[in-house]
């Protein structure tokens, strides 16, 4: 049932070592504090599998292979498990970025509307002045019409008015 999700890991030992190295390279690019460049030296895919695994075990102790006796398992199985575990970490980091970006880009008009409401309330109270624009109309446009493709020009105008008044 789940075979299709693991198919990319049904490859040779050499390909698994290269996949691990590639994944560590990506992790280093995304988060070099947690995944320093030195890890790439430990995960040199040209090393023999046992040496590669020992290097991984010592350099990334929380990796699943860190708790097992390497002689009790086939090298390809340990490489596969390591590749899967590291890929999950990378996918999680990428998903975190994509999900945050999606949320921010999808809801930016809602955030702008909230900021506008708060700013107008504070300014109106402090300056004893009414807003230049119809506050309720701007909020309606920013919150109700922001995903309506036909109303995009109105949304842009409302966003500019909200930004201007802030």
pLDDT tens profile 25-72: 999 999 988 889 988 888 899 999 999 998 888 888 778 777 777 777
95 and 153 inside one domain: no
8 and 63 inside one domain: yes
19 and 72 inside one domain: yes
73 and 38 inside one domain: yes
Q: What is the pLDDT of residue 123?
A: 72
d(CA 7, CA 17): 16
9 vs 108, which has greater pLDDT? Answer: 9
Task: Quickly state the pLDDT bin for 121 (edges 50, 70, 90).
Answer: confident
Query: Per-residue pLDDT tens for 137-150?
Result: 776 766 666 666 67
Number of domains in the chain: 2
79 and 134 inside one domain: no
81 and 14 inside one domain: yes
28 and 58 inside one domain: yes
pTM score, two decimals?
A: 0.66
d(CA 8, CA 21): 15
130 is in which domain, residue-wise? 103-165
26 and 81 inside one domain: yes
Q: Do residues 6 and 85 lie in contact, with contact meaning Cβ atoms separated by under 8 Å?
A: no
83 and 109 inside one domain: no
90 and 109 inside one domain: no
């Amino acid at each position: 049932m789940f075979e299709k999700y693991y198919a990319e890991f049904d490859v040779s030992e050499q390909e698994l070592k290269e996949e691990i190295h590639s994944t560590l390279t990506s992790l280093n690019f995304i988060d070099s504090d947690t995944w320093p460049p030195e890890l790439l030296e430990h995960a040199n895919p040209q090393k023999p599998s046992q040496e590669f695994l020992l290097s991984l075990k010592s350099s990334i102790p929380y990796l699943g292979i860190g708790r097992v006796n390497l002689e009790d398992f086939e090298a390809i199985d340990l490489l596969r498990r390591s590749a899967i575990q590291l890929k999950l970490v990378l996918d999680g980091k990428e998903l975190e970025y994509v999900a945050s970006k999606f949320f921010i880009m999808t809801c930016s008009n809602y955030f702008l509307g909230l900021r506008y409401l708060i700013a107008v309330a504070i300014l109106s109270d402090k300056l004893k002045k009414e807003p230049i624009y119809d506050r309720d109309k701007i909020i309606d446009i920013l919150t109700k019409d922001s995903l309506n493709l036909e109303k995009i020009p109105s949304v842009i105008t409302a966003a500019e008015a909200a930004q201007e008044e802030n």
